């Protein structure tokens, strides 16, 4: 594995944190697949982030559970396609495989080749159409079309850990691309408040983790202040929206959220059709 640096490298840090939840007696979710991607280098990178901001693990655990729950719900409602944008080391195509459901992952070729190799070496069926490409810089609708994607089928999109590395124009283009080309869709994603990006929270712990990600070459650059208006601009609606603090209280009602960042970090789902 090469030096873990930049946005692609953060996928290994997230995967390390996601894997730790498996060790608990009553985990929020189970991910028996993710350990196949990890090694000593990914562990060291995760430890560096954890040292700067310990609650970042909770962030990953809670958002994984939320996005798993939303995927389960949409599959039960009859959605037959799942697209994972900037997939990184996502394992839902393996963990949530169902007959008749097609999974598509878009990410850079090196990341997808690494995933394919590790899964094959471990004897795990990938169950996904890998689409190498930059969904921001390229026409991701064309990328999907070339991979056998059915634009008439109800589709659920997962967009995890991406928006904070983009800008307003890129986020708008993704939403417009989905809304203009699918009759029925849902899209689950996470985002930060602009105050975090601007270092205006007044919380030194939050400032420290922002600096740590910047030092890794993965600076947070974009926050969303009004997701309702953003959804309306592309003809969609917000079907649900929760801060990480709210989800923390739902999943662990007997525990106090451990960071103010959780009030500035939101997970939501948009729907149309």
Q: What is the pLDDT of residues 73-110, one digit of tens each?
A: 999 999 999 999 999 999 999 999 999 999 999 999 99
Q: Where are the domains of the chain?
A: 6-272
pLDDT given for residue 8 in this prediction = 59
Domain 6-272 has CATH 3.40.50.10190: no
Return the residue matching tokens 């990953």: 60
* Model pLDDT for residues 15-57, shown as the tens digit of each residue: 999 999 999 999 999 999 999 999 998 998 888 888 878 888 9
CB of 218 within 8 A of CB of 14? no
95-100 LR contacts (CB < 8 Å, sep 24+): 95/30, 95/31, 95/32, 95/33, 95/68, 96/68, 96/71, 96/72, 97/127
Tell me, what's the pLDDT at 209? 85
Residue indicated by tokens 């962030």: 59
Q: Where are the alpha helices (DSSP H) in 219-266?
A: 227-233, 244-251
Strand partners, 104: 83, 129
Q: Write down the pLDDT at residue 5.
A: 46
Give residue 53's pLDDT. Answer: 82
User: Which stretches of the chain drop beneath a pLDDT of 50?
Assistant: 1-7
- Write out the two tokens for 215: 């030092």
Give the residue ranges of DSSP H helices in 122-240.
Answer: 140-145, 168-181, 194-197, 204-215, 227-233
In this prediction, residue 79 carries a pLDDT of: 98
> Could you tell me which of 236, 80, 62, 249 has the C-alpha nearest to residue 160?
62
């Amino acid at each position: 594995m090469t030096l873990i640096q930049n946005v692609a490298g953060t996928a290994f840090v997230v995967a390390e944190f996601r894997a730790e939840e498996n060790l608990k007696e009553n985990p929020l979710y189970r991910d028996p697949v993710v350990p196949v991607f990890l090694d000593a280098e990914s562990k060291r990178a995760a430890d560096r982030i954890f040292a700067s901001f310990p609650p970042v693990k909770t962030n990953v655990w809670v958002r994984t559970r939320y996005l798993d729950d939303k995927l389960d719900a949409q599959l039960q409602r009859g959605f037959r396609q799942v697209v994972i944008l900037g997939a990184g080391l996502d394992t839902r195509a393996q963990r949530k495989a169902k007959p008749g459901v097609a999974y598509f992952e878009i990410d850079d070729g090196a990341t997808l080749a690494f995933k394919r190799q590790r899964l094959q070496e471990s004897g795990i069926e990938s169950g996904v159409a890998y689409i190498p490409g930059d969904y921001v810089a390229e026409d991701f609708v064309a990328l999907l079309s070339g991979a056998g994607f059915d634009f008439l089928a109800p589709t659920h999109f997962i967009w995890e850990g991406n928006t904070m590395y983009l800008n307003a124009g890129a986020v708008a283009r993704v939403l417009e691309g989905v809304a203009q080309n699918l009759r029925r869709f849902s899209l689950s994603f996470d985002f930060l408040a602009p105050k975090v990006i601007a270092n205006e929270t007044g919380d030194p712990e939050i400032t420290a983790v922002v600096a740590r990600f910047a030092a890794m070459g993965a600076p947070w650059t974009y926050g969303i202040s009004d997701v309702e208006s953003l959804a309306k601009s592309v003809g969609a609606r917000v079907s649900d929206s929760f801060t990480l603090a709210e989800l923390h209280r739902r999943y662990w009602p007997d525990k106090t959220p451990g960071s103010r960042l959780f009030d500035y970090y939101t997970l939501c789902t948009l729907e149309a059709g």
